[in-house]
Amino acid sequence: MYNSLKKVVENELQGIHEAGLWKEHRTLQGRQGTTVVADGKELINFCANNYLGLSGKQELVDMACQALGEYGYGTSSVRFICGTQSIHTQLEEKLAEWMGFEDSITFTSCWNANEAVFAALLTDEDAILTDQLNHASIIDGIRLCKAERYIFNHMDMADLEAKLQEAQGKRLRCIVTDGVFSMDGDVAPLKKICDLADKYDAYVVVDDSHATGFMGETGRGSIESEGVLDRVDIVTTTFGKALGGAIGGAIIGPKEVIELLHQRARTTLFTNSLPPVVAATTIKVLEYIDEHPELREKLWENTNYFREKMVAIGYNVPESVHPIVPVIIGEGSAASSMARDMLDEGIYVIGFSYPVVPIESARIRVQISAEHSIDQIDLLITAFEKLGKKYEII
């Protein structure tokens, strides 16, 4: 009878409320851009992963409309039955070539890519070494594989080395890290990780979801900005952030690995392939990124401007280079109440508090886009200045 489940669910819901962890969903009207209309109010949007400002761009919409005409709407199937269209293969070849790897395989999300990449390649004879703060999709992906799990302290290379030594008896050692961590915008020490991988015969997987398309000289991600494009073995990434922001993800790597993933990855074997419109548009996005280096330049200019101004007015902004900018508020309820007040100032940002981030460093996370104008960023800074004084933070 549903009555028993109803009671359990109601208790759970009450618990989430009481713990202050309730997540509100704001409803946006219209297109995703630097401004959005949320619950009827126009706000400047500083909480999307729309790093290059492509999500609502008319050129992309036009490309997608053309692709819809050519390939239709859905695939109605998984890859190995009748869900592989020429456009999927073209995207996989293009993405691999664009990143400088042998091959790639696409999924309907990076979540699905991360669920596939460990279970398909590792067995109980193997070891997986994972940063403590890796994304939830990596954590869940690891749960699905039988390899022994070693969690190393966040970006702590001495701890990683100790764990690699412990894992020397295993058949394979896989080190996995986010390229950029989404709560702090901090960049993994990929050079040191690759050095340790060489020393202890491990292979390296980087989830570059928060970097593909804009970090590094040509936008190939943190593996480019950290100088390890030719040293990392496997990259997972999303099309849902800088690369147009719709949906989709990929695993990029050596051809044998990709071949085995086509055979073994459950999140491609038993679920529909990427909508062809997304596959076709993502190819265009990769070309667009190469043709428009000024988008990356503008993103870094905007990011540096905001970071410098916030430090100058007295905020604690942990040092990094990334357009994810955590503005540390301190106490959890202050962060959420200040984020709510920001809405009255016409600014859309989100507060994060414990247990998502450490208890003493609740923050408002700002995400900068290439599309933001300096005037919009100035409005954001003015709002922070006003509310920082009100909450006695600056």
**Rule CB under 6 A: which residues touch ligand PLP?**
109-111, 114, 135, 137, 178, 182, 207, 209-210, 238, 240, 249
CB of 49 to ligand PLP, least distance (A): 7
CB of 58 to ligand PLP, least distance (A): 24
CB of 240 to ligand PLP, least distance (A): 4
| Cα first-last separation, the chain | 55
**Tokens 């409005």 sit on residue:** 379
Catalytic residue among 163, 170, 241, 284: 241
Decide if 372 is catalytic.
no
CB of 249 to ligand PLP, least distance (A): 4
Decide if 163 is catalytic.
no
CB of 108 to ligand PLP, least distance (A): 8
Residues in a beta bridge with 128: 149, 174
Tokens of 226: 């950290």
CB of 134 to ligand PLP, least distance (A): 8
User: CB-wise, 232 or 383, nearer to ligand PLP?
Assistant: 232
Decide if 135 is catalytic.
no
User: CB-wise, 48 or 364, nearer to ligand PLP?
Assistant: 48
Give the contacts of 269 (CB within 8 A, at least 6 positions apart).
78, 79, 80
Catalytic residue among 182, 209, 225, 336: 182
In our burial notation (b when 16+ CB lie closer than 10 A, e otherwise), range 182-204 reads bbbbbbbbbeebbebbeebebbb
Can you say how many angstroms the Cα of residue 143 is from the centroid of all Cα atoms in its chain? 19
**Tokens 């071949």 sit on residue:** 259
Residue type, 203: Y
User: CB-wise, 132 or 333, nearer to ligand PLP?
Assistant: 132
**Tokens 């859309």 sit on residue:** 348
User: CB-wise, 245 or 332, nearer to ligand PLP?
Assistant: 245
Give the contacts of 280 (CB within 8 A, at least 6 positions apart).
63, 64, 66, 67, 70, 71, 87, 91
In our burial notation (b when 16+ CB lie closer than 10 A, e otherwise), range 273-294 reads bbbbbbbbbbbbbbebbeebee
User: CB-wise, 207 or 371, nearer to ligand PLP?
Assistant: 207
- CA dist 105 and 367 (Å) reads 29
User: CB-wise, 184 or 207, nearer to ligand PLP?
Assistant: 207
- CA dist 315 and 51 (Å) reads 23
| H or E element that contains 163 | helix 157-166
Residues classed as catalytic: 182, 210, 241
